[in-house]
Amino acid sequence: MPKPLGDALEGPSRPQVSSSTGAIPPSPKPSGEGNDGSVTNQTRVTFSKQDSLPRLPIPDLESTCRRYLESLAPLQSPSEHEETKASVQDFLKSDGPDLQEKLKLYASSKTSYIEEFWYDSYLNYDNPVVLNLNPFFLLEDDPTPARNHQVTRAASLVVSALSFVRAVRREELTPDTVRGKPLCMFQYSRLFGTARVPTSNGCVIGQDSASKHLVIMCRGQFYWFDVLDENDDLIMSEKDISLNLSAIIEDAEQTPIQEAAKGAIGVLSTENRKTMRNLRILLK
């Protein structure tokens, strides 16, 4: 199971890190913030445009079918494409109009008719998410060579990410716009403290919107330590986080491979969803 950082720091050979020394003071209170750190409606702007967003329009059936054929054309042989065109014409004359009306009825109570289908396409996928679904990306090197050391770079990214978490939770981010028109900001609320939880029937989205900790993976081991207070202010400086990360690396490198294998729960994500669900129940 994930190790509290205190466990990794036990023993005389471990560097001792204080979570209070060098703590970052709370950010200056914006106008409208209470003395207790609470945020008033005056400063909550992130989701202020949600109720005025237009509904996602449903294209007419003929347009949908036409774009479907256009997307398949480069992928099919001429004979295959002719067969597909015939099937589309049959669909337009049979089930298509009825299904279009049902979709309109479904969409009448939602701002986006496609959102739940989009979630289902990922959450109901039973194969392992590793490689099949999980995206990844690489970051460019820091323009300052001295800051490209793994621990230094990671600590800097952590501090920046936590500042962003704070802004999202306190709803201080101004809504994104395109050509002056606001966009939906709901997905920002699921960027952090969120995971897919396997069940016997696909996955569900699990979320802890008040989480205060950070989880670090190192050599198959999982570690955690708190980084935010009750007002979502950072309680550690970048230097403190660097010390914690260094302690984690040292502990992971000194953990015997047999012991490390016992806590390498990340390997469970290589199983299909139903198997992982059963293993997760056993771990509980």
Question: Are 156 and 143 contacting, i.e. CB atoms less than 8 angstroms apart?
Answer: no
Nearest-angstrom CA–CA distance, 149 and 84 = 55
How do beta strands 181-182 and 194-199 pair?
unpaired
For the chain, list the domains and their CATH numbers: 3-27+37-56+111-283 (3.30.559.70)
Determine the residue type at 40.
Answer: T
pLDDT tens-digit map of 152-189? 999 999 999 999 999 999 999 999 999 999 999 999 99
pLDDT at 25 > cutoff 60 = no
pLDDT value for 96:
98
Nearest-angstrom CA–CA distance, 114 and 103 = 10
pLDDT value for 49:
93
Residue 100 neighbours by CB under 8 Å, 6+ apart: 58, 60, 61
How many CB atoms lie under 10 A from the CB of residue 249?
Answer: 18
Question: Are 24 and 236 contacting, i.e. CB atoms less than 8 angstroms apart?
Answer: yes
CA atoms 188, 194, 195, 200: torsion sign: negative
Nearest-angstrom CA–CA distance, 158 and 161 = 5
Determine the residue type at 41.
Answer: N
pLDDT tens-digit map of 133-154? 777 788 888 898 888 999 999 9
Nearest-angstrom CA–CA distance, 161 and 174 = 17
pLDDT value for 17:
39
Question: Are 195 and 66 contacting, i.e. CB atoms less than 8 angstroms apart?
Answer: no
Beta bridge partners of 226: 213
pLDDT at 29 > cutoff 50 = no
Nearest-angstrom CA–CA distance, 234 and 6 = 19
Question: Are 272 and 201 contacting, i.e. CB atoms less than 8 angstroms apart?
Answer: no
The DSSP output letter for 228 is: B
Specify the higher pLDDT residue, 24 or 129. 129
pLDDT band of residue 76 (cuts 50, 70, 90) is very high
Nearest-angstrom CA–CA distance, 37 and 231 = 6
Q: What are phi and psi of 71, to 5 degrees?
A: -70, -25
DSSP 180-212: TEE---GGGGGSSSEEEEEETTEEEEEE-TT--
pLDDT band of residue 27 (cuts 50, 70, 90) is very low
Specify the higher pLDDT residue, 207 or 17. 207
How does the average pLDDT of the chain come out, rounded? 86
Determine the residue type at 252.
Answer: A
How many CB atoms lie under 10 A from the CB of residue 91?
Answer: 15
Nearest-angstrom CA–CA distance, 4 and 15 = 15
